Amino acid sequence: MASDEDGHARKFYGRRRGRRLRPWREQLFDEALPRYGLPLPEEDAAAPLDPAALFGEPVDALWIEVGFGGGEHLAAQAKAHAQARFIGFEPFVNGVASLLRYLEEARLGNVRVHADDARPVLERLPDASVDRFFLLFPDPWLKKRHHFRRFIQPETMALLARLLKDGAELRIASDDMGVARWMLAHVTEHPAFEWLARRPGDWREPPADWVQTRYEGKALAQGRRPVYLRFRRRPRGQDVG
Ligand SMILES: C[S@@+](CC[C@H](N)C(=O)[O-])C[C@H]1O[C@@H](n2cnc3c(N)ncnc32)[C@H](O)[C@@H]1O
């Protein structure tokens, strides 16, 4: 099993199951997941992945969302950007069932779903293959001894720098200032990324084409103000070291 700099074994620490799935959701899961699931070749679990093979057609623009929760954001983006191809990652089965319902209702054929930890699959994607990457309200892991579980770490920044195309956008949000600071520090410390804030207070305003997520809606209803961070992958060769 892969491990981080401090030797923590890398595994997924979040919830995989919540309330028992209602029978129609269970059926949706069983019937629709094989259709929308990421078709990973079984013979070699470490083989590099070709986006064209995953979608059965050439892929001009690949957008990724890690931890899509109930899938509201992913489904809305996939509907609004029909030319792009999307891969969504979410190990929480209730969330996956929710996304599958949106995909079925809107007949969205440009989405592939992986109902598990994103990291082992991301590591198999080619260099400079991703056009946009969403990490929205990732698990905060507030206790200091759990910080190593956070998605954004030096090694994930190296992975994102490798995966994103020159000029590609990395979009992050959180409703916790400690987590937002952590993510901002890790991303801006990486020479490949430039923060796109233009004015003081920019990080309090969602981007123009923003789609509210389920978790964000709950945070707003409880009076918390989210932070919205947008970064650009600098052109290769122009990394600021
Ligand atoms: C706090 S929830 C937010 C969900 C959604 N983005 C929203 O805003 O409503 C964070 C989600 O990230 C998922 N997650 C955490 N680590 C992940 C990983 N390594 N790969 C894929 N999903 C992950 C969790 O299962 C959880 O559903």
The minimum-distance atom of ligand 1 relative to the CA of 216 is 8
- Quick: pLDDT tens for 81-101: 999 999 999 999 999 999 999
CA-proximal residue: ligand 1, atom 1 (nearest): 139
From the alpha carbon of 95, which atom of ligand 1 is closest? 27
Kindly give, in sequence order, each residue whose CB lies less than 8 Å from that of residue 1, ignoring residues fewer than 6 positions away.
9, 10, 11
Ligand 1: residue whose CA is nearest its atom 27: 69
Confidence of residue 24 (pLDDT cuts 50, 70, 90): confident
- Report pLDDT for 213: 96
Distance between CA atoms of 222 and 161, rounded to whole angstroms? 35
Q: Which residues line ligand 1 (CB under 6 A)?
A: 12, 14, 66-70, 89-92, 95, 117-119, 136-139, 151, 213-216
Residues in the chain: 241
| Closest-lying ligand 1 atom to the alpha carbon of residue 70 | 9
Q: Is a pLDDT exceeding 70 seen at residue 139?
A: yes
Sorting pLDDT into bands at 50, 70 and 90, what band is 2?
low
What is the widest separation between alpha-carbon atoms in the chain? Answer: 54
Mutational test site, ligand 1, from 215, 220, 224, 228, max ligand atoms within 8 Å of CB: 215
CA distance 80 to 98: 19
Where are the extended beta strands (E) located within 28-118? 62-66, 85-89, 111-114
Rounded to whole angstroms, how far apart are CA atoms 33 and 68?
Answer: 15
The residues annotated with a catalytic role in the active site are 139
Exposure string over 126-147, b if 16+ CB within 10 A, otherwise e: eeebbbbbbbbbbbbbeeeeee
Domains and CATH numbers, the chain: 23-233 (3.40.50.150)
**Does the pLDDT at position 173 exceed 80?**
yes
